[in-house]
Amino acid sequence: MHSGKDISKHITTKVLLERKKKKEKITMLTAYDYLTAKFLDEAGIEMILVGDSLGNVIQGNETTLPVTLEQIIYHTNMVKKAVKNALVVGDMPFMSYQIGTEEAIRNAGRLMKETGCDAVKMEGGKYLVETIRRIVEIGIPVMGHLGLTPQSINKFGSYKTRGVERAEAEAIKRDALLLEKAGCFAIVLEKVPAALGKAVSKSLKIPTIGIGAGPDCDGQVLVTQDMLGMIEDFKPRFVRRYMNLAKDMKEAFKRYSKDIKENKFPSEKESY
């Protein structure tokens, strides 16, 4: 059955490769609900990530570690319903792909089958090569994620920039090439020096999508709540705020409250 999508505008992994070849930048943001996804899609954002960052911005957890596959499936379903053109990536949560290839295939398959997402994302390098190769082979596009990988926060001990030391920078470069060879269609590069972001992007045929990885990545991603200024106490250098929505929302809530207290809402016009 036809989905009602305008095929000519639909973003596929092939379109993303073309963007890189033509040196056209790629846009990506996160969404976890229907309306946000609808607005992103209508604004022409090309990729929408149902990130495990929902553990932070939706659930209020310190880390992304508690997020479950069921929760990602739940949110990806809402997002997918709203999207006509963007490529929707479902994030594989902590411990849904690390145990072994078979379990990773089963979970990536569930995520795609139960939500209709276009691709899945996984954090990590060399140790994931065989898993990614098999998942891609069975027809599930995989996006890699290198640099600061928040699911490894307990190993790193902090959210500081990765790949500053030469040895780690070299490892990230090697991992990026391995992920490309394994079949990833794109790689998120998170919080690495701009020079490393540039070097990795130049070394790959597939696009890099940077978050705090400098201007030379092939595309950029941010957590939507961060760029809307909804998270007041989190402002890393790589976040550009396009709105101050936290302030605007609180202002609206206060005005609503005042109107009720002063018997100004609802008015006659707003009544039956």
Which residues make Cβ contacts (< 8 Å) with residue 42, sequence separation at least 6?
A: none
Tell me if residue 69 falls in helix, strand or coil: helix
Q: Least distance (Å) from ligand KIV to the CB of residue 122? A: 10
Does the footprint of ligand KIV cover residue 53 (CB under 6 A)? yes
- Mark the segment that binds ligand KIV (CB under 6 A) among 45-53, 76-84, 162-170, 260-268: 45-53
The tokens describing 137, both together, are 């082979």
Q: Which of these ranges, 18-26, 49-57, 192-200, 240-248, lies near ligand KIV under the rule CB under 6 A?
A: 49-57
How many CA atoms lie less than 13 Å away from 30 in the CB half-sphere?
23
Minimum Å gap between C-beta 269 and ligand KIV is 42
Answer for which of 52, 118, 175, 180 binds ligand KIV (CB under 6 A) is 52
To the nearest whole angstrom, how small is the minimum distance from the Cβ of residue 209 to ligand KIV?
7
Q: Is 176 in the site for ligand KIV (CB under 6 A)?
A: no
Site for ligand KIV in 91-120 (CB under 6 A): 91
Q: CA–CA separation, 68 vs 66, rounded Å?
A: 6
> Hey, what long-range contacts does 106-110 have (CB within 8 A, 24 or more apart)?
107/69, 108/135, 108/140, 108/142, 109/138, 109/140, 110/69, 110/73
Q: Does 211 bind ligand KIV (CB under 6 A)?
A: yes
Tell me which residues are annotated as active site.
Answer: 190
